[in-house]
Structure 1
């Protein structure tokens, strides 16, 4: 614990020192140097913030309508956070789904303003990051619900383009068309932002996804000018959104802004419990990982393979049994086995398919070992064992449990005395 505290303190001091150096350059009016920090410093900040967030859970969840933000931040910062075999992770994700299902059970269209003004968009984004199809959420099409929100909340969205941007981003990430009215609102009054840099940052991500170049350029320029002039006046929420937006838009010549903002974000994590708040985590963690909400569309999900007919999944394996010690006999069988199964499974299949073949095996520290075939049993005292060879007579390096036959392979089981 002492060592961990020392490491975190050192990282905090280093982050503060770099921030001070960069600010000094800014105050002198010079171009700010771009410091390439060690990857371990970013990881330490992400891990510290993630720990704060996970520690803030109660009964595996964070609270009403905040679970998606927490999971969104954790997953963007570390895609491997979601592991089905990790109970604590799995339960938190199920809690998020249960919360959404509970709301859908009483409000199928999610017209409640607590959900229809951008909140559902956060849940859709979190589901997409976890490779859960939001259009097939337990027979609910959440993308259709989001599209409906563009109409239901249009008057609110005219006044709050920050919330509108969330809906647009979630739909755009899923390649869904945005209606003309929403596009007009997004493009309206370029360079004017009621909620300042925060709104401009969300609009920059939305217009980047939509490829609305004029509105994108206006938001981009507003953010750059404002941050270069007044960055010290803004909190970590705004700085996190700025980093996400400029990263998503691939804005050029803004390394100075991103570098200072990221340094301040690291310092905030190390010096407080800021990331116990899911809203903060959803903004800060992705920024530190050089990700944005648009990265939900870049997740590569495993494709569900088509079911292969059993007939196409079968292979033929030849089994030859030779005993030159006890009975001087040789027997040969062909077995139909499932493609991809191991040699032990092929032997079990052969035993089911032929009354003339029987075998026994024993589990050892080296894997499964054949002890008897057709009544001919090994005799350890007299150093008599069953040896398994390939068609060329070369002993197998792996046992029957780890050897996977290919179609047409031959295996020789030879009773041998050493």
Structure 2
């Protein structure tokens, strides 16, 4: 017997099942692309951080003395991103996660996002520049590990960050790593640095880590509450406009302090020559922008805490390079500190791995359900996925 209504229902059910399976496959494809983005952002963050830190120390080692210039080099390279941003302005997005179709006005973003983030960036970079001037580069990079604990503190209040035993273990280990370094390295001072300057370097570096932790937690809050969009164009806007605000603040400090008057003499007396002076600052600026793309990318792909955890894994890279470039010492306590930092990072990554495995199990259950369930159950599985 021929039943047209039943036949139509069967075709409709079959189409819904096919759509459900395609949705799950599309979700898996999106997850694969997301992991590729995470790998790319991680590479940009680690490479930019390592090279920029070494070049920043090289500036002071070879005769540079202006903390304002060193800070400007960390923030003033944003014009190199303008061509990429212009390309994105004329490119129609195809697969972006748009949460809010009514974006906030530029003035609102300037007041709530760009100016606060820019001022925090300027403060953090200036404090780090003081640390690089008075401390060995290996000491600075290992103290920076404490920024993970600071970010966890701010993320708990600003972003309701959840803490699992593995994340807590990571924070404890990284904090102990920094404390060991601070306690042990009181006698290790670069040539020509007084005890007062060395102490100032420690204090400024720790304060810089705290401000940086607050900066990334604030970036995550801005993406979630104000921007409400996760696209490459928005990422570049945050970097460009906040860097413009930060660079403007540093330029004001450069002229008010009078440091600009000694720049010509500083260039003439630079140990590697005038060309190397310019190239050192130029590539420092470019590398910090590479680092900024990786950092902000990880913030809106995962979280600010994850971004800083990835940054922490690069800490052992810089001291090893500094041993060969600047002949820094690598004593036993510093080695233990590095091991604890790596252990803490692995603990955090393992928690992220467990979350990913849990997500895969949920996707597999949804996929199996789509093959046997009714259309209503398929829609429920799709919503779950």
TM-score clears 0.5 = no
Greater RCO (Cα-Cα under 8 Å, separation 6 or more): 2
Whichever of the two has the greater Rg, that structure is: 1
Give the TM-score category using the shorter length: under 0.3
Going by fraction, where is helix more abundant, 1 or 2? 2
Normalised to the residue count of structure 1, the TM-score between the two structures is 0.21
Normalised to the residue count of structure 2, the TM-score between the two structures is 0.23
